[in-house]
């Protein structure tokens, strides 16, 4: 297997790291806690019966950061960030530089963070330039190898491979135009060779090099670089055997490249669409002389595997390599630790689930079946069959009313009855907004008082009515501020929402909540995604009361606020027993009813957020069209049931969407708000060049920085936007929701935003 959750059963790692950051514990104490957690994992894995236990999959923060560190890719600003009292080479010094890269300091910015492929994990982006000097620092993998040795285990250290490390990096700020990190490959390979030799010297028999970038479409230059990298690395004589691993999809053109290389083994994903690796491997004639690590247990979903299907795959693979080992498809980092901790879930449903600990058991059962025959694991296979049958036949997974409704959706249900021009006219008449209308994205600061109210409610110190009262007071505050500030379209501020997905998941059927299902999002941040287990319906309105109580406080329009179907799926664990498109359609229908209820309650504006639309894009281009078709259809199904004079807004965070611009147009949302402040409104030029026909609110307030933009700078941004978009299709709003900001910043920032809109308005016509 490739890796296991790092946090410990009670998220001990999070606590230990945060204590260290707060200055309450020294480096030695943190490192000792970390070593204890590693030992615990190795013992668990060995006791479960895993034949070969991986090493170096632990991280204090992020494994890509660890890989950058291992090759000495430490930006000078971070290298200089250690406090003066820390002795160079000491653990204090090491951790100060390491965490400066991860989180920045008061003086220097951290490495950028971005999504790890199409998972919800975020990695730190190494910065490389022509001046980067690589230097081998195998300290971490060596230490961890030695630690496991003390437990009597010879681990297989897992390192991020050189091609992936370079492709996941970005050019350093001073790299000069057009610099490509891949051009550093020749300088990087000797450093990898040195690290491999060091691991070999202490007794590592195998080392795993992860090359997940090869599951994406790659140009010939990258495939050639891959061939060169593994030719070089296998040329050394004092090295361990090499296992090159890929996951999150099929290898495609990279498969023959790796198959022809002299590495001793390949680890491939055979789950879901990556099952295409199997025929590809067969048509190549297999991997004669090599070891194949077969990822047949899905490492990313939370469902019990279909063991019989996995066995059938393994049976075919047996003829295609010298040795076939069973494994999860990828690191188990992306799933919660153990279903045994879920005492609130119906035991019937619990049997359908497999978290990291259960996936290890599934792997061991399959390996045993390969070795000793299926009779040896007959009871496990029978239990697995029974659990799967119970899931397939359950009323939770099959609600006939939901299915009938989804089957009856017609194309007309997914299109607004009126065209945009007609809608815009009707909306102008109903809303009577000034040109360049001002609004916000939805959330207002999530204050300590709000969090305390939620904690009090959970702990029983506050009853439902008391909680409601506190939230209502917050809504009153938010509305009154917006009126005074002079915003045109108001929001209620979302104070009742713990999270924009969880809030709805808790009110829809088909979603399950876990109590301990934490997964790492980045660093010490963990999330508990809902499990979308069954058919989705909406037993009762979810936001209408909050809308009503806000709307009653003002004469100005208040936006209804919902999370879109794609984002609901993207930030949950989704079911694997039907196409995603079918699940999205069910969620869309539930939202459609909510939109209708908001409209009936008087909402003239409804916003349906889809910040995840872009990030869920399949890794390979071949899958894009199909995904975008169902994703945009689900959005339209949710939103197109309204009258012409009801205005539909959507919001997406990112700005780089060049490749999905047509899909965004396909959403047919009357208004879209997007991140734009940091890029100086670059998106407005793109939109106008593409002939985007609907209204746009390019963000003028960068809410990711604790900085309050002044009126003059906002005016300048609006003037820039007006060069590309006509005033009647331009809105004025922040980049994103304000929940992470403080009132002290939000108040002046929004006042400046309104002042800027008024100033520019006065110069129009």
Distances from the Cα of 623 to the Cαs of 41, 254, 523, in angstroms?
A: 36, 18, 30
* Closer to Zn ion by Cβ: residue 154 or 521: 521
* Choices 175-183, 214-222, 578-586, 731-739 (CB under 6 A): range interacting with ligand GLN: 731-739
Q: Does 736 bind Zn ion (CB under 5 A)?
A: yes
DSSP 212: G
* Choices 95-103, 186-194, 574-582, 734-742 (CB under 6 A): range interacting with ligand GLN: 734-742
Residues 762/436, Cβ–Cβ less than 8 Å: no
> Taking CB within 5 to 8 Å according to partner kind, which of ligand GLN, Zn ion, none is near residue 442?
ligand GLN
Q: Where are the alpha helices (DSSP H) in 640-727?
A: 661-666, 682-689, 711-722
Q: Which residues are catalytic?
A: 704
* Closer to ligand GLN by Cβ: residue 208 or 443: 443
% helix, strand, coil for the chain, step of 5:
45, 15, 40
Residues 551 to 580 in contact with ligand GLN, rule: CB under 6 A: 561
Residues 226/211, Cβ–Cβ less than 8 Å: yes
Residues 697/736, Cβ–Cβ less than 8 Å: no
* Closer to Zn ion by Cβ: residue 394 or 498: 498
Binding mask 638-657 for Zn ion (x = CB under 5 A): ---------------x----
Q: Does 561 bind Zn ion (CB under 5 A)?
A: no
Q: Does 140 bind ligand GLN (CB under 6 A)?
A: no
Triad 723, 729, 732: Cα angle to 5° = 80
Q: Is 634 helix (H, G, I), strand (E, B) or coil?
A: helix
Q: CB within 8 A of 572, min separation 6: which ones?
A: 501, 505, 511, 529, 530, 531, 532
Residues 65 to 84 in contact with ligand GLN, rule: CB under 6 A: none
Encoding tokens for residue 321? Answer: 């390599």
Contact residue for ligand GLN among 442, 445, 529, 699 (CB under 6 A): 442
DSSP 658: G
Residues 652 to 681 in contact with ligand GLN, rule: CB under 6 A: 653
Closest CA to 534 of 591, 498, 587, 612: 587
Query: Considering the complex, what minimum distance in angstroms separates the CB of residue 506 from ligand GLN?
Result: 17
Triad 132, 100, 117: Cα angle to 5° = 70
Residues 465 to 504 in contact with ligand GLN, rule: CB under 6 A: 500
* Closer to Zn ion by Cβ: residue 611 or 697: 611
* Closer to ligand GLN by Cβ: residue 145 or 504: 504
* Choices 135-143, 183-191, 286-294, 441-449 (CB under 6 A): range interacting with ligand GLN: 441-449
* Closer to ligand GLN by Cβ: residue 510 or 611: 611
> Taking CB within 5 to 8 Å according to partner kind, which of Zn ion, ligand GLN, none is near residue 443?
ligand GLN
Contact residue for ligand GLN among 651, 720, 741, 752 (CB under 6 A): 651
Backbone angles phi, psi at 488, to 5 degrees: -90, -45
* Closer to Zn ion by Cβ: residue 615 or 668: 615
Q: Does 296 bind ligand GLN (CB under 6 A)?
A: no
Distances from the Cα of 251 to the Cαs of 130, 160, 257, in angstroms?
A: 30, 17, 10
**156-171: buried (b, 16+ CB within 10 Å) or exposed (e) per residue?**
bbbbbbbbbbbbbbbb
Q: Does 580 bind Zn ion (CB under 5 A)?
A: no
Q: Does 445 bind ligand GLN (CB under 6 A)?
A: no
Residues 594 to 613 in contact with ligand GLN, rule: CB under 6 A: 609, 611
User: What is the C-alpha separation between 265 and 251, in angstroms, rounded?
Assistant: 14
Footprint of ligand GLN on this chain (CB under 6 A)?
441-443, 500, 561, 609, 611, 651, 653, 736-737, 739
């Amino acid at each position: 297997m490739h890796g296991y959750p790092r946090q410990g059963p009670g998220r001990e790692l999070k606590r230990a790291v945060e204590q260290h950051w707060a200055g309450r514990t020294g480096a030695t104490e943190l490192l000792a806690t970390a070593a204890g957690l590693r030992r615990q994992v190795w013992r668990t894995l060995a006791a479960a019966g895993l034949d070969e236990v991986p090493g170096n999959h632990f991280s204090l923060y992020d494994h890509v950061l660890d890989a950058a560190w291992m090759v000495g890719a430490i930006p000078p600003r971070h290298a200089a960030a250690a406090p003066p009292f820390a002795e160079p080479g000491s653990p204090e010094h090491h951790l100060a530089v390491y965490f400066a890269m991860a989180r920045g300091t008061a003086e220097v910015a951290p490495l950028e963070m971005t999504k790890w492929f199409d998972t919800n994990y975020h990695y730190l982006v190494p910065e490389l330039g022509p001046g980067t000097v690589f230097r081998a620092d195998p300290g971490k993998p060596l230490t961890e190898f030695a630690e496991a040795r003390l437990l009597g285990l010879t681990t297989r250290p897992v390192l991020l491979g050189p091609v992936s490390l370079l492709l996941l990096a970005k050019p350093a700020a001073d790299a000069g135009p057009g610099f490509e990190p891949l051009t550093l490959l020749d300088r990087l390979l000797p450093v990898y060779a040195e690290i491999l030799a060091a691991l070999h010297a202490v007794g590592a028999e195998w080392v795993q090099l992860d090359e997940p970038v090869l599951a994406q479409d790659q140009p010939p230059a990258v495939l050639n670089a891959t061939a060169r990298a593994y030719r070089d690395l296998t040329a050394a004589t004092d090295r361990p055997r090499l296992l090159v691993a890929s996951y999150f999809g099929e290898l495609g053109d990279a498969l023959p490249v790796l198959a022809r290389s002299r590495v001793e083994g390949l680890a491939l994903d055979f789950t879901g669409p990556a099952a295409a690796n199997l025929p590809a491997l067969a048509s190549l004639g297999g991997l004669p002389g090599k070891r194949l690590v077969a990822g047949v247990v899905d490492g990313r979903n939370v469902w019990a595997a279909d063991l019989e299907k996995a066995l059938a795959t393994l049976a075919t693979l047996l003829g295609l390599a010298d040795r076939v080992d069973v494994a999860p498809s990828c690191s188990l980092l992306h799933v919660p630790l153990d279903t045994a901790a879920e005492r609130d879930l119906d035991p019937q449903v619990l049997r359908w689930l497999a978290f990291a600990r259960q996936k290890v058991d599934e792997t061991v059962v399959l390996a045993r079946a390969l070795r000793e025959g299926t009779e040896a694991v007959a009871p496990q296979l029978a239990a697995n069959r029974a659990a799967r049958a119970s899931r397939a036949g359950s009323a939770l997974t099959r609600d006939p009313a939901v299915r009938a409704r989804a089957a009856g959706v017609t194309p007309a249900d997914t299109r607004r009855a009126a065209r945009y021009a007609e809608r815009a006219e009707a909306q102008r008449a109903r809303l009577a907004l000034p040109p360049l209308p001002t609004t916000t994205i939805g959330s207002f600061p999530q204050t300590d008082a709000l969090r305390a109210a939620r904690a009090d409610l959970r702990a029983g110190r506050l009853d439902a009515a008391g909680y409601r009262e506190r939230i209502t007071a917050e809504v009153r505050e938010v509305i009154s501020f917006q009126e005074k500030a002079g915003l045109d379209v108001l929001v209620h501020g979302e104070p009742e929402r713990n999270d924009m997905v969880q809030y709805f998941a808790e009110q829809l059927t088909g979603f399950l909540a876990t109590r301990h299902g934490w997964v790492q999002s980045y660093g010490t941040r963990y999330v508990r995604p809902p499990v979308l287990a069954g058919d989705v319906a909406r037993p009762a309105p979810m936001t209408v009361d909050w809308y009503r109580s806000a709307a009653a406080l003002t004469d100005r329009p208040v936006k209804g606020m919902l999370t879109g179907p794609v984002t609901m799926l993207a930030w949950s664990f989704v079911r694997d027993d039907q196409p995603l498109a079918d699940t999205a359609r069910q969620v869309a229908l539930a939202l459609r009813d909510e939109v209708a209820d908001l409209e009936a309650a008087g909402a003239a504006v409804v916003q349906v957020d889809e910040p995840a639309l872009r990030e869920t894009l399949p890794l390979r281009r071949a899958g894009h069209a199909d995904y975008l078709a169902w994703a945009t259809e689900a959005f339209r199904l949710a939103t197109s049931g309204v009258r012409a004079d009801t205005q539909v807004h959507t919001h997406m965070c990112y700005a780089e969407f060049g490749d999905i611009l047509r899909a965004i147009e396909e959403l047919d949302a009357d208004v879209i708000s997007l991140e734009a402040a940091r890029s100086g409104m670059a998106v407005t030029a793109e939109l106008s060049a593409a002939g985007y026909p609907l209204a746009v609110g390019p963000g003028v307030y960068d809410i990711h920085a604790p900085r309050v933009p002044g009126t003059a700078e906002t005016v300048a941004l609006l003037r820039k936007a007006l060069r590309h978009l006509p005033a009647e299709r331009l809105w004025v709003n922040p980049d994103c929701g304000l929940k992470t900001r403080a009132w002290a910043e939000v108040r002046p920032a929004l006042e400046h935003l309104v002042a800027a809109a008024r100033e520019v308005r006065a110069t129009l016509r």
